[in-house]
A = this chain, B = another copy of it.
């Protein structure tokens, strides 16, 4: 194995080679004996047999008298059999059957006489009304086969069968070694250049979900000897070892060298995207995996390489564990021919079908995995997927939950997050997901039948009226409602103290002022374009006018960080970041709701939330909003 060189091995081939190399050197689970009452959810290592029968004694199944059946033979309505008091025993349900008895007669069928004897008008058949030994479980019977997940009921059955402890497959211990000079432990106050070490927490949580235990070693600097020593220690202490990262083939990537020096590298470089620079190694007959540092790459390698190792350990098939649904792509995705690509998508269930929208494909964007509803796999040798194409998506959330989710696509406002919180607090089976694609993006999504609701604040330059002209233009055959939401104050956000002395739109092309803009198609972009035009400002003279952010918050974040001096946005975003704010105008931020969504439960619940006092209170806290009658239909553009 050469260093400095990554192969491009197809995923399935890499997995097969690795598995067979591991099996060849004896990679297998170990077992441990644990108390049965702690065993629920664990997997049996071998078949479990009952040690005693359940019930372990013959018991009366009724309240009545226990008798010897042959003493009752011949009893009839007309010729009763009379048992004297020594020939029977009064029993309650559950009482052990007395010695010499082999039947129970229900108390209702017995006439007790004054001298203590009992009259019977029908014979008892042997073993009637008796709960016999072993009715539930017979001693020696197999209660559970090998490699079977122990359910709560199985715990009961084992205890009833006299089993006190059970051999289960030991949880594999996975050692996680974070590496990197810039990596620092989690903090709310990192220095510039520090990278917060969260991968080990994500990996650990993922591994625990699939039944492993984990231990995370202290962060190693980018030094070969330290990485090697830590890996050697981890290999001696754990069943599986993960080295994160340094798994590529760069100058400071020591992981491959460390693995080679301790054992063998089976594969370096897998044809997946993200996740390519992975290392599959074996040291002391144990798997040692170099996992790339970008969180999304790492998660993919965890899912595709390490979870299957844990399944192998548990002798567990993972077939069918995944759920898939059919969806229609809302945008094209271009993919390279060389890799099998895993694209995280959002799914919206609107108008009776799922639409899939690709999320930010950056390998560093951990939030994209959190927001993802599903994974779209694009095979090698495919150039991608066209918009409108039908695709099969692996679910990361339940289909039910997705079907109960209100899909908001359009202009961004933090009030949508607050509405999402409120809607789920009120209606625990309902969710709201919002995609920030700007007002025009929202109109398009509604037209395509992919959104229940779209936030929109598009100003018509001609008459200064919001939204109406755009709706008339884009929905010429109607079929939508414009619903009042809020008035909000738009203005120029700038560093606290206003160091550049910005007092109007006209100052934006000042020498040395760095502007940060919103993306084309957003209502705020339409607004700033309009304002500049009105003031006769050549926007090509505004430095950074092409620098586009997708939300008010991210514009504010750039200004707060000092990487820009000014940007257009709403008051609540400025307030959140402690920025100065120059109010320019109040605009109507409304909701476009198509007729096809109007009668859905989700939309009804949203309107209920918008009309609530709590919504008004939250807006007041955020600041910069004027509220009149949110939820009121401004206009119904009836379908023609």
Interface of A toward B, CB cutoff 8 Å: 36-37, 40-41, 47, 51-59, 70, 94-97, 102, 125-127, 131-143, 145-148, 151-157, 159-160, 162-164, 182, 186-190, 192-196, 198-199, 201-206, 208-209, 295, 299, 315-317, 319-321, 362, 364-370, 372, 398, 400-401, 404, 414, 417-418, 420-421, 424-425, 428-429, 514, 543-544, 546-547, 549, 551, 553-554, 556-558, 560-561, 563, 576-577
Contacts of A367 in B (CB 8 A): 54, 136-137, 143, 153, 157, 160
Q: Which of B142, B206, B420 is in CB contact (< 8 Å) with A421?
A: B142
CB distance from A100 to the nearest CB of B (A): 11
**Cα separation A320 to B398 with both chains bound (whole Å):** 9
Chain B residue with Cβ nearest A560 = B139
**Cα separation A106 to B157 with both chains bound (whole Å):** 66
Q: Which of B137, B147, B153, B421 is in CB contact (< 8 Å) with A202?
A: B153
B428-A139 in contact (CB<8A)? no
Q: Which of B95, B157, B362 is in CB contact (< 8 Å) with A366?
A: B157
B421-A193 in contact (CB<8A)? no
B139-A164 in contact (CB<8A)? no
Contacts of A151 in B (CB 8 A): 205, 370
Contacts of A138 in B (CB 8 A): 551, 553-554, 556-557
**Cα separation A51 to B190 with both chains bound (whole Å):** 11
B561-A57 in contact (CB<8A)? yes
Q: Which of B160, B195, B208, B556 is in CB contact (< 8 Å) with A198?
A: B160
Contacts of A198 in B (CB 8 A): 155-156, 159-160
A196-B155 in contact (CB<8A)? no
Chain B residue with Cβ nearest A368 = B136
* Stoichiometry (number of copies): 2
Contacts of A362 in B (CB 8 A): 131, 135-136
B205-A152 in contact (CB<8A)? yes
Q: A142-B418, A156-B198 are in contact. List 10 more A-B contacts (CB 8 A).
A: A56-B190, A94-B182, A126-B543, A126-B544, A126-B547, A135-B554, A140-B556, A155-B198, A155-B201, A160-B367
B135-A365 in contact (CB<8A)? yes
Contacts of A189 in B (CB 8 A): 52, 162
Closest 8 CB pairs between A and B? A320-B400, A40-B205, A317-B429, A152-B205, A159-B198, A153-B369, A134-B557, A162-B188
Contacts of A163 in B (CB 8 A): 188
Contacts of A401 in B (CB 8 A): 320
Contacts of A429 in B (CB 8 A): 317, 319-320
B366-A102 in contact (CB<8A)? no
A417-B182 in contact (CB<8A)? no
CB distance from A362 to the nearest CB of B (A): 7
Contacts of A140 in B (CB 8 A): 414, 553, 556, 576-577
Contacts of A398 in B (CB 8 A): 320
Contacts of A96 in B (CB 8 A): 192-193
**Cα separation A214 to B139 with both chains bound (whole Å):** 30
**Cα separation A364 to B198 with both chains bound (whole Å):** 50
CB distance from A89 to the nearest CB of B (A): 13
Contacts of A164 in B (CB 8 A): 186-188
Q: Please, could you name 25 A-B residue pairs with CB atoms under 8 Å apart, sorted by A?
A: A37-B201, A37-B204, A52-B189, A56-B192, A57-B192, A57-B193, A59-B193, A97-B563, A125-B546, A132-B554, A136-B364, A138-B553, A138-B556, A140-B414, A142-B417, A142-B421, A145-B424, A145-B425, A152-B201, A155-B201, A156-B366, A159-B201, A162-B196, A319-B400, A319-B429
B52-A188 in contact (CB<8A)? yes
**Cα separation A365 to B131 with both chains bound (whole Å):** 10
Chain B residue with Cβ nearest A204 = B37
CB distance from A582 to the nearest CB of B (A): 20
**Cα separation A161 to B187 with both chains bound (whole Å):** 9
**Cα separation A134 to B436 with both chains bound (whole Å):** 15
Chain B residue with Cβ nearest A397 = B151
B139-A557 in contact (CB<8A)? yes
**Cα separation A147 to B299 with both chains bound (whole Å):** 25
**Cα separation A221 to B404 with both chains bound (whole Å):** 49
CB distance from A84 to the nearest CB of B (A): 21
Contacts of A139 in B (CB 8 A): 557, 560, 576-577
Chain B residue with Cβ nearest A298 = B156
Chain B residue with Cβ nearest A425 = B146
B196-A160 in contact (CB<8A)? yes
CB distance from A165 to the nearest CB of B (A): 10
**Cα separation A157 to B199 with both chains bound (whole Å):** 10
Given the known A-B contacts A142-B414, A365-B136, are A47 and B421 also in contact in the complex, defined by CB atoms under 8 Å? yes
Q: Which of A163, A319, A547 has the most CB of B within 10 A?
A: A547
Contacts of A51 in B (CB 8 A): 188
**Cα separation A52 to B127 with both chains bound (whole Å):** 75
Chain B residue with Cβ nearest A148 = B424
A102-B514 in contact (CB<8A)? yes
A190-B52 in contact (CB<8A)? yes
Contacts of A400 in B (CB 8 A): 319-321
Chain B residue with Cβ nearest A252 = B92
**Cα separation A156 to B148 with both chains bound (whole Å):** 32
**Cα separation A404 to B316 with both chains bound (whole Å):** 13
Q: Which of A151, A203, A546 has the most CB of B within 10 A?
A: A151
Q: Which of B95, B196, B202, B557 is in CB contact (< 8 Å) with A152?
A: B202
Q: Which of B56, B97, B126 is in CB contact (< 8 Å) with A546?
A: B126
B428-A317 in contact (CB<8A)? yes
CB distance from A359 to the nearest CB of B (A): 11
Q: Which of B162, B182, B370, B372 is in CB contact (< 8 Å) with A187?
A: B162
